[in-house]
Amino acid sequence: MADSPISHHSPDGIQQPPQTDPSNEQRAQMEQAYQQIQRKMRISKMDEGIKHKVMVLSGKGGVGKSTVATGLALSLARQGKKVGLMDIDITGPNVPKMLGLGDADLNVEDGQIFPAIGPHGLKVISMAFLLDGPDTPVIWRGPIKLGAIQQFIGDVAWGDLDALVIDFPPGTGDEPLTVSQSMPGIDGVVIVTTPQEVALLDSRKSINFAKTISLPILGVIENMRGYTIRGTAEPNTKVSVIGPSGVPLECNTDEGGNWTLTLDVFKSGGGEASSIDLEVPFLGSLPFDPGIVRGGDDGVHRIIADPEGETARAFDSIVARITEELEGGSDQSLRIT
Ligand SMILES: Nc1ncnc2c1ncn2[C@@H]1O[C@H](COP(=O)(O)OP(=O)(O)OP(=O)(O)O)[C@@H](O)[C@H]1O
Ligand SMILES: [Mg+2]
């Protein structure tokens, strides 16, 4: 009992005043209050320093949200924009690994956290940086988790940014709600989906969630749409390939004998259909690309490994579409108020 911060009894049983120095305690409380005020001020100023803030959501897990959030940020950064990427997934933060920043150390100065620097100067912040190791589970519930997220938002020294991309865990839980309520001036939500029907049903929940919290929906991105195969044969002839479902697919070779076929790994066009259905913009598709999986494992994002490839180009065109909307857009009806 001698070490208990609560009970302080003398040998004769008479209760003594607490042994902590009250002035120290007061000082600690003042320090905490001061930090909270500073955090609030920094959060309120985020709108001035960061031009655009975009949240990346999905209803279902594993649809490629982190891959897409990282790809969007890298695509912008390689165009010379100042970009930040915030990984708010507390239980499974994997953005740093995708960028080869798994071992990065963060600098903390004057109570502010300085982001790690990734390819093309991309500023990255992730809960993963604050955990003991990649296998350490985080079991933070309710208020502690929310407090950590708020601290995360208010204590990071982003500097001036053209865009901040925010990656979330799947679903419509506490994290996107807390961020949307704590961070000023969020431009909108991008929803990632795969073409399967189930993922689509779940993405509808994300769309409705964004509507409920009055955030504009910038659009839907369909990930893992088709897998492209290529080959050569006799010029100007027909080529037949057995597709994944056993159905033969046919195409013609060109003058040089080259042929290209895109196989729908999942049912195709679901993301597009759902965006039309729900009257939200369709931002584009990303191909099913085994190089993305390899890149994720090796810590080199596909955009970096193959900057001119199909996936990198698909990211660029999605970014162009998002930028168009953010910079005023042609269709103001996209804004949900
Ligand atoms: N277009 C793609 N082609 C092939 N594999 C992909 C593609 N997009 C993502 N993947 C792979 O799918 C897996 C899940 O991707 P990712 O971690 O980005 O999903 P997530 O939605 O963020 O998952 P979680 O819900 O767990 O956060 C990873 O192994 C990733 O490499
Ligand atoms: Mg993820």
What pLDDT does 7 receive?
Answer: 40
Residue 148's φ and ψ, nearest 5 degrees, are -65, -40
- Over residues 299-315, the mean pLDDT reads 95
How many CA within 13 A on the CB side of residue 5?
4
CA 79 to centroid of ligand 1, rounded, Å: 24
> In the structure, which protein residues have their CB atom closer than 6 angstroms to any atom of ligand 1?
58, 61-67, 89, 92, 94, 169-170, 223-224, 286, 288-289, 292-293, 296
CA 296 to centroid of ligand 1, rounded, Å: 8
- Over residues 82-102, the mean pLDDT reads 90
CB atoms within 10 A of CB 182: 18
Nearest to 97 by CA among 298, 253, 310, 323: 298
Mean pLDDT value across the chain: 82
Residue 71's φ and ψ, nearest 5 degrees, are -65, -40
Q: Which residue has the higher pLDDT, 3 or 260?
A: 260
Q: Is 201 exposed, middle or buried (0-12, 13-18, 19+ CB in 10 A)?
A: middle
Protein residues placing their CB within 5 Å of the ion ligand 2: 65-66
Q: Which helix (H) or strand (E) covers residue 150, if one does?
A: helix 142-154
Query: pLDDT by residue (tens digit) across 147-168?
Result: 788 888 888 999 999 999 999 9
SS3 of 66-132: the string is HHHHHHHHHHHHCCCCCEEEEECCCCCCCHHHHCCCCCCCCEEECCEEECEECHHHCEEEEHHHHCC
Q: Is the pLDDT of residue 323 over 90?
A: yes
Q: Is 252 exposed, middle or buried (0-12, 13-18, 19+ CB in 10 A)?
A: exposed
Query: pLDDT by residue (tens digit) across 184-199?
Result: 899 999 999 888 765 6
| Domains contained in the chain, CATH given | 25-221+291-334 (3.40.50.300)
Residue 113 neighbours by CB under 8 Å, 6+ apart: 106, 107, 125, 155, 156, 157
What pLDDT does 133 receive?
Answer: 65
What pLDDT does 2 receive?
Answer: 38
To which residue do tokens 């320090």 refer?
Answer: 31
What pLDDT does 90 receive?
Answer: 79
- Over residues 64-72, the mean pLDDT reads 96
Select, from the ranges 34-38, 142-146, 159-163, 169-173, the one with the highest average predicted confidence (pLDDT). Answer: 159-163
From 37-41, 301-305, 310-314, the region with the lowest mean pLDDT? 37-41
Residue 100 neighbours by CB under 8 Å, 6+ apart: 118, 119, 298, 299, 300
What pLDDT does 240 receive?
Answer: 86
- Percent of the chain with pLDDT strictly greater than 70: 81
For the chain, give percent helix, strand, coil, nearest 5.
Answer: 40, 20, 40
Q: Which residue has the higher pLDDT, 10 or 303?
A: 303
121-156 as b/e: b if 16+ CB within 10 A: ebbbbbbbbeeeeeeeebeeeeeebbebbbbbbbbb
CB-CB contact of 299 with 98 (8 Å): yes
Query: pLDDT by residue (tens digit) across 253-280?
Result: 999 999 987 777 666 555 566 666 667 8
What pLDDT does 3 receive?
Answer: 39
CA 287 to centroid of ligand 1, rounded, Å: 12
CA 223 to centroid of ligand 1, rounded, Å: 9
CB-CB contact of 249 with 268 (8 Å): no
What pLDDT does 221 receive?
Answer: 92
CA distance 318 to 71: 10
* Index of the ligand 1 atom closest to the CA of residue 295: 31
